[in-house]
A and B are shown apart, each in its own frame.
Chain A
Amino acid sequence: MSEMNRGIVAVCETDGNEKLKNVSFEIISEGKRLADITGEKVTAVVMAEKKPELSDIYACGADEIVFVRKVSSLLYDIESESWLASKVIEKIKPSVVLFGATDYGRILAPKVAAICRCGITADCTSFEINENKKLVQIRPALGGNILAHIISPHTMPQMASVRPSVLKKMKTEKEVTGHFVEVSFDIPENRKKVKELKRESFEANDDDKIENGRIIVAAGSGVTSRETLQLMNNFAKLIGGVSGCSRKLVESGWMPHSKQVGQSGKTVSPDIYIAIGISGASQHLAGMKTSGKIIAVNNDADADIFSVADIGFVMDGNLWLKEMMKFLENRQNNG
């Protein structure tokens, strides 16, 4: 069976404004990197209401774009799109299929895999091609304490979802183009059972999204007062960063889920990550340890967060924020 399967497919995801999400460019780029090793071609599959901006997709390395025009108005049409993706995969017969491990991708991908009756690995952070030309899918497990290397030895295609913001988006400078196909399928009735009654977006605009932040300042359970949280938000603004948090602050209702960094939240990889009062549970570390520079502030000198940090402060978070802001303001005044 495996001799017949050729090509790498990236199943893309669009946001509410019909723009391709960053993670889609990341999986196309990774697909291209793998394709260069195996000598296959890369197909980007886009299921959307409107035709996407093609040049951006080709620029990441896609040889071909398969566009499936969405007819339903559901933002997350899990049932139809899992079926549609499986139909496209059935036609292309690729050896590898990649999904972005967003909330949507993490529910879509296992359904597609179950329809195709193939193996799937969730939340991969890197890939290798082994000596048998198999895709080695590498993912953190056990709360980020270990990395598991996983293969699908007997089934095709080899599917994986990929953590956003971990792999790099590549871009070629040259004017590139490729093959474009539009396909359509009649969606069966039993795939139309879910209706969307209402949609509410969180107010976060693009600049305020943690996945876009080049500097992130995040609070953990050591931040025990609203005043400190406010101070942290002000500090984040002052240095041009966005604020984030660990799971504890979401559970206490102080921060929205959209701001959560970690295994059950988002993976981020900013240039600078500043952790205030975060103890560094492995679940949290799994979501941020690939950041460029990590600065940690914690009362407890033994906190695990220091094991991944570049600079650590054994200090109270509130005091640290006040002193740090004073320091930066003085710097500004003195030129």
Chain B
Amino acid sequence: MKVAVLVKQVPRTDKIKIDKESGTLIRKGVESILNPYCEYGLDLAVSLKKKYGIIEEITAFTMGPPGAELVLRRSIALGADKGVLLSDKAFSGADCWATAYTLSCGLKTMGNPKLIICGKQAIDGDTAQVPGEISEISGMPVLPYVLDILELTEEKIVVVSEFENGTVTLETSLPAVVTVGSGSNIRRIPSVNDVLKAYESEIVVLDKTKAGCNDTDIGLKGSPTRVVKIEPAFSKGDCEMFDDGNFNEGFEKIKVFLMENNDEEN
């Protein structure tokens, strides 16, 4: 069977600085990485391929400008067999729905894979909406927040999904979309050979025509939502500081907080 992994190139949000005056992102010096949740998804696909003999091919998909092919090469270095880049000026400005639609078109070109693996969310937008929307647009069920896959055959999949207050073991027929919410926090380092292979691999590039997209459903035009304003998130910035020398004074203040809290409760 064919497996697709959806990947996204994201800025390292833990290194982002915002211009407090203008509310804009200071891009200088912020590196782009493979979204960690997508990497978990890729790791899962690679381990499934090793474990079950039935996976012929893992294809990494992304949508983005030409430079986003780097994230596909990274995916190939980490074990994907090939990469497909959906890239067209007409895709720009896409919100979650238009992104999900465009990716769904791309998936169709490979004869609809039986299993579509996504990270549960990307660390830049953090919306977590694309996998659910793809599942609807492609008419497949979605199994979210997968921790482990217990069984995989040509017909069905059994997974353990983690929600905030417990886990459920779910079974569904294929095709299906799964999302992955956790994985090893030790980043795999591909071998030199794998990196070389990745850089020699051909990346399939699909524009809107090759992907078979409707003009009215892509990019800004196809997006039902609009960002109308961006502002920096507030910070308090008036923290009273204590250290090894005067912590008891700080403790007195905490005691007051705790007592106030008790009064409210009683």
Q: Give A residues with C-beta under 8 Å from B.
A: 15-16, 74-76, 78-79, 82, 102-104, 106-111, 113-115, 117-123, 136, 140-155, 190, 193-202, 204, 209, 214-215, 239-240, 248, 250-252, 257-258, 263-264, 266, 271-272, 281-283, 285-286, 289, 293-296, 301, 306-315, 319-320, 323-324, 327-328, 331
Contact = CB atoms under 8 A, between A and B. Distances in A.
B182 A251 contact: yes
Nearest to B137: A114
Q: Which 4 A-B pairs have the closest CB atoms?
A: A119-B224, A143-B13, A114-B136, A110-B132
A253 B125 CA distance: 26
Contacts, number: 275
Interface in B109-136: 120-121, 123-133, 135-136
Interface in B141-170: 141-145, 158, 161-170
B193 interface: no
B233 A140 contact: yes
Contacts of B126: 122-123, 140-141, 143, 263-264
A111 B142 CA distance: 9
Given A145-B232, A313-B250, A315-B247, A106 B128 contact: yes
Nearest to B150: A197
Interface stretch (B51-59, B78-86, B202-210, B238-246): B238-246
A121 B95 CA distance: 10
Interface string B210-229: 00000000000001111111
Given A113-B97, A136-B228, A145 B16 contact: yes
Contact of A311 (B164, B182, B240, B264): B240
B172 interface: yes
B189 interface: no
B191 interface: no
Interface in B167-200: 167-173, 176, 179, 181-182, 185
B239 A78 contact: no
A142 B124 contact: yes
A118 B97 CA distance: 9
B254 interface: yes
A202 B225 contact: no
B25 A155 contact: no
B261 A272 contact: yes
Contacts of B1: none
A313 B243 CA distance: 5
A285 B18 CA distance: 15
A76 B163 contact: yes
Contact of B236 (A111, A120, A307): A307
B188 to A, nearest CB: 15
Q: Which of B11, B124, B181, B247 has the most CB of A within 10 A?
A: B247
B225 A152 contact: yes
B230 to A, nearest CB: 5
A310 B16 contact: no
